[in-house]
Amino acid sequence: MAMAPLKIGDLARATGTKVVTIRYYEKIGLLAAPNRSKANYRAYDESALDRLRFIRRCRALGFPLDQIRDLLALSSEAEHPCDAVDRLTAAHLAEVERKMDDLSRLAAELRRISASCKGGDTISNCRILDAISPD
């Protein structure tokens, strides 16, 4: 037995996405057009929820929609040729690791600022510009 289908607003609330944004993703083919209810309302199932959640989190991490399309393709085409998958995952993995490095440096600096703030009532030496890949 299937669960009660989700309306677009339910999906929006569950993922922190605006309703219009969901319709936009459908229009550009990132989300499949779902079945419609009698009243012509979009009726989603759980898999749409997973997919949308993934898209939104990737967006928040700075991935453009094209790259997200790539990543999603990895999940839906089981018979991908292996070398293509490898190239794609390796490239994305490298980027993800770079981002994690940058974030951890930024986090460290934010913590430092916050700590130096606890002492007095102003801060005086902020090295936030050095925080990310001083390279």
Binding residues for DNA (CB under 7 A): 7-10, 12, 18-21, 23-24, 28, 36-42, 59, 64-66
Query: What span, in angstroms and rounded, lies between the C-alpha atoms of 51 and 135?
Result: 36
Length of the chain: 135
Residue 19 interacting partner from its own copies, DNA, none (CB closer than 5 to 8 Å by kind): DNA
Rule CB under 8 A: which of 54-93 touch its own copies?
A: 54, 57-62, 71-72, 74-76, 78-82, 85-86, 89-90, 92-93
Taking the least distance from each CB to its own copies, the nearer of 41 and 132 is 132
Taking the least distance from each CB to DNA, the nearer of 8 and 48 is 8
Helix (H/G/I), strand (E/B), else coil: 15: helix
For tokens 């309306």, what's the residue? 7
Instruction: Determine whether 15 is exposed, middle or buried from the number of CB atoms within 10 Å of its CB (0-12, 13-18, 19+).
Output: buried
What is the closest distance, in whole angstroms, from the C-beta atom of residue 37 to its own copies in the complex?
25
Any contact of residue 104 with its own copies (CB under 8 A)? yes
Residue 65 interacting partner from DNA, its own copies, none (CB closer than 5 to 8 Å by kind): DNA
For residue 114, which amino acid is it? S
Of the residues 20, 32, 33, 96, which one makes contact with its own copies according to CB under 8 A:
96
CA 41 to chain centre: 26
Structure tokens at 9: 């607003």
Phi, psi of 49 (to 5 degrees): -60, -45
Residue 9 interacting partner from its own copies, DNA, none (CB closer than 5 to 8 Å by kind): DNA
Structure tokens at 1: 């037995």
